Amino acid sequence: MSDERRPDYREVNFDGLVGPTHNYAGLALGNVASMSHGGLVANPKEAALQGLAKMKALMEAGYLQGVLPPQQRPDLGALRALGFTGSDERVLARAAGEAPQLLRAVCSASSMWTANAATVTPSVDAPDGRLHLTPANLQSSFHRFLEPATTGRVLQAIFRDESRFAHHPALPATPAFSDEGAANHTRLAGDHGEPGVHLYVYGREAFGWGGESSPAPKRFPARQTREASQAVARQHGLADHQVVFAQQHPEAIDAGVFHNDVISVGNGPVLLYHEMAFLDEAGTLEALRERMRSPLIPVRVPVEAVSLEDAVGSYLFNSQLLSNPDGSMTLVVPGECQENESVWRTLQDHLLAGANPIGEVVVKDVKQSMRNGGGPACLRLRVVLGAEERAALAGRVLLDDALHDELTAWVERHYRDRLAPEELADPALARESLTALDELSRLLEIGSVYPFQREGA
* Among 453, 391, 374, 428, residue whose Cα is nearest residue 108: 374
Segment 57 to 86, residues that bind ligand SUG, using CB under 6 A: none
Q: Is 308 in the site for ligand SUG (CB under 6 A)?
A: no
To ligand SUG, the closest distance from the beta carbon of 359 in angstroms equals 25
Nearer to ligand SUG, 16 or 298 (CB): 16
Nearer to ligand SUG, 108 or 441 (CB): 108
Q: What phi-psi label fits residue 22: left (phi over 0), alpha (psi between -120 and 50 degrees) or beta?
A: beta
Per-residue binder mask for ligand SUG (CB under 6 A), 35-54, x = binder: ---x----------------
Contact 333, 347 (CB under 8 A): yes
Mark the segment that binds ligand SUG (CB under 6 A) among 13-21, 24-32, 77-85, 401-409: 24-32
To ligand SUG, the closest distance from the beta carbon of 18 in angstroms equals 12
Active site residue 378: yes
**HEC secondary structure over 331-395:** EEEECHHHHCHHHHHHHHHHHHCCCCCEEEEEEECCHHHHCCCCCCCCCEEEEEECHHHHHCCCC
Contact 74, 20 (CB under 8 A): no
Q: Quick one: which of 13, 21, 31, 111 contacts ligand SUG (CB under 6 A)? A: 31
Instruction: Return the amino acid letter for 215.
Output: P
Per-residue binder mask for ligand SUG (CB under 6 A), 236-265, x = binder: ----------------------xx-xx---
Nearer to ligand SUG, 20 or 395 (CB): 20
Q: Is 433 in the site for ligand SUG (CB under 6 A)?
A: no
Give 186's strand partners: 199
* Among 347, 332, 323, residue whose Cα is nearest residue 267: 323
To ligand SUG, the closest distance from the beta carbon of 65 in angstroms equals 18
Query: CA 352 to CA 354: how far, in whole Å?
Result: 6
Q: Is 115 in the site for ligand SUG (CB under 6 A)?
A: yes
Q: Quick one: which of 21, 110, 123, 319 contacts ligand SUG (CB under 6 A)? A: 110
Nearer to ligand SUG, 184 or 323 (CB): 184
Contact 312, 286 (CB under 8 A): no
- For 227-251, letters b (16+ CB in 10 Å) and e give bbbbbbbebbbbeeebbbbbbbbbe
To ligand SUG, the closest distance from the beta carbon of 328 in angstroms equals 25
To ligand SUG, the closest distance from the beta carbon of 103 in angstroms equals 12
Nearer to ligand SUG, 142 or 245 (CB): 142
Q: Is 321 in the site for ligand SUG (CB under 6 A)?
A: no
From the candidates 11, 147, 180, 336, give the one annotated as an active-site residue: 180
From the candidates 185, 259, 404, 414, give the one annotated as an active-site residue: 259
Binning the chain into helix, strand and coil, the percentages to the nearest 5 are 40, 20, 40
Q: Which residue blocks in 61-194 are alpha helix, DSSP H? A: 76-81, 88-98, 100-107, 142-145, 148-158
Main-chain dihedrals φ then ψ at residue 245, nearest 5 degrees: -110, 125
From the candidates 378, 389, 404, 414, give the one annotated as an active-site residue: 378
Q: Is 144 in the site for ligand SUG (CB under 6 A)?
A: yes
To ligand SUG, the closest distance from the beta carbon of 382 in angstroms equals 11
Q: How many Cβ atoms sit within 10 Å of the Cβ of residue 189?
A: 24
To ligand SUG, the closest distance from the beta carbon of 356 in angstroms equals 23
Nearer to ligand SUG, 1 or 117 (CB): 117
Q: How many residues bind ligand SUG (CB under 6 A)?
A: 23
Compute the residue count for the chain.
Answer: 457
* Among 74, 44, 91, residue whose Cα is nearest residue 433: 74
Nearer to ligand SUG, 23 or 441 (CB): 23
Q: Beginning with the edge strand found earlier in the chain, give each strand of the sheet holding 297-301 in spatial order.
A: 264-267, 270-274, 297-301
Nearer to ligand SUG, 18 or 351 (CB): 18
Mark the segment that binds ligand SUG (CB under 6 A) among 21-29, 84-92, 122-130, 212-220: 21-29
Considering only CA atoms, give the Rg of the chain. Answer: 21
Residue 172: C-alpha distances to residues 169, 199, 384 (Å): 9, 22, 26
Main-chain dihedrals φ then ψ at residue 246, nearest 5 degrees: -130, 140
Segment 369 to 408, residues that bind ligand SUG, using CB under 6 A: 372-374, 378
Segment 155 to 214, residues that bind ligand SUG, using CB under 6 A: 183
Residues that bind ligand SUG (CB under 6 A): 24-28, 31, 34, 38, 108, 110, 113, 115-116, 144, 183, 258-259, 261-262, 372-374, 378
Residue positions annotated with a catalytic role: 180, 259, 378
